[in-house]
DNA sequence: TTCCATGTTCCGCA
DNA sequence: TTGCGGAACATGGA
């Protein structure tokens, strides 16, 4: 699930459940999720600390602690956060658990172990190291910056939108929605887009991500006319009712309406 | 049983 | 140099 809107949902969830509580201990249940930090160091850094606030960059969630460092969460294809009051409610596939003094627990859940957990002092050097572009909803990505990024890019527009080093946060699912609402075929070449197309793409991208982030990635809360609820094998276009088509782009499956997207 | 999947990374090719 | 296809990672679900 986790693209920008979903990670924004996790941030809201974390902010409303797990802040300002002392962490008693940390359990790493599967060390494969750890990136550039040992279970021992992580536990040491978190013990006695409180989570202060979540901050998102693309698909990454940085959680600042009272010790000053940041717990870094990336959710891969199947990750999520769960907060609960009793160990019996501990979810299946929990890979990391923060045990609060209150006895409540926060679990980082990763079914397919493709996500990663790390711990850093500052987000910026980490973002730099990962080679991430500006967050797709940030002020840094204004229209001029976006047009400039596209001007330096060639190839398929869907690939460009999904390239985290160009701009961070958009994945396979939301790139489909953005292109659908922009009326652009996923295989259109960036260098062949008119300036009008590019401006519309920017406006659409911001609107779609903002709206989806508001509902934390819940597809059933999206306005009517969105592609995503219809994004499946036998789905039809919410605008014209014709069957959606599928085509592979950058090793993933793009869904689009051949009639509405040119 | 086989194939596909919302993630990233790495390699070889054009 | 850059974009792209494919493989790899891991494992559940259709």
User: What is the percent of chain A where pLDDT is above 90?
Assistant: 88
If phi > 0 it is left, if psi is from -120 to 50 it is alpha, else beta; for residue A58 that is left
Q: Whole-number Å distance, CA A253 to C1' B5?
A: 10
Determine whether A2 is an active site residue: yes
* For range A226-245, the mean pLDDT: 92
Determine whether A3 is an active site residue: yes
Of A111, A199, A239, A252, which is the active-site residue?
Answer: A252
Phi, psi of A239 (to 5 degrees): -95, -45
Q: What is the pLDDT of residues A175-198, one digit of tens each?
A: 999 999 999 999 999 999 999 999
List the single protein residue with the shortest CA to C1' distance from B4. A253
pLDDT, residue A233, reads 84
Q: In what order do the strands lie in the sheet with A70-74?
A: A51-57, A60-65, A70-74, A116-120
- Averaged pLDDT score across all residues of chain A: 94
Nucleotide nearest to A77 (CA to C1'): B7
Q: Is the pLDDT of residue A234 over 90?
A: no
Q: What is the pLDDT of residues A201-230, one digit of tens each?
A: 999 999 999 999 998 888 889 999 999 999
Q: What is the pLDDT of residues A38-83, one digit of tens each?
A: 999 999 999 999 999 999 999 999 999 999 999 999 999 889 999 9
Nucleotide nearest to A231 (CA to C1'): B6
């Amino acid at each position: 699930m986790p693209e920008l809107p979903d990670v924004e949902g996790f941030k809201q969830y974390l902010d409303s459940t797990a802040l300002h509580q002392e962490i008693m201990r940390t359990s790493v249940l599967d060390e494969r999720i750890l990136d550039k930090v040992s279970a021992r160091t992580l536990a040491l850094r978190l013990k006695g600390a409180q989570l202060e606030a979540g901050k998102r960059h693309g698909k990454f969630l940085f959680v600042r602690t009272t010790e000053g460092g940041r717990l870094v969460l990336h959710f891969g294809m199947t990750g999520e956060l769960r907060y609960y009051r009793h160990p019996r409610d501990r979810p299946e596939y929990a890979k990391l658990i923060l045990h609060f003094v209150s006895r409540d627990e926060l679990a980082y859940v990763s079914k397919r172990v493709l996500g990663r957990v790390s711990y850093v002092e500052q987000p910026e050097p980490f973002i730099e190291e990962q080679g991430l572009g500006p967050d797709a909803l940030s002020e840094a990505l204004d229209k001029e910056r976006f047009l400039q990024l596209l001007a330096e890019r060639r190839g398929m527009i869907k690939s460009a939108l999904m390239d985290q080093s160009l701009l961070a946060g958009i994945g396979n699912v939301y790139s489909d929605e953005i292109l659908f609402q922009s009326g652009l075929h996923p295989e259109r070449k960036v260098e062949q887009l008119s300036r009008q197309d590019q401006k519309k793409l920017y406006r659409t991208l911001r609107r779609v991500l903002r709206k989806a982030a508001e509902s934390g990635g819940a597809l059933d809360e999206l306005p009517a006319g969105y592609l995503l609820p219809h994004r499946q094998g036998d789905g039809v276009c919410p605008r014209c009712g014709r069957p959606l088509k599928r085509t592979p782009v950058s090793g993933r499956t793009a869904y689009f309406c051949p009639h509405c997207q040119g």
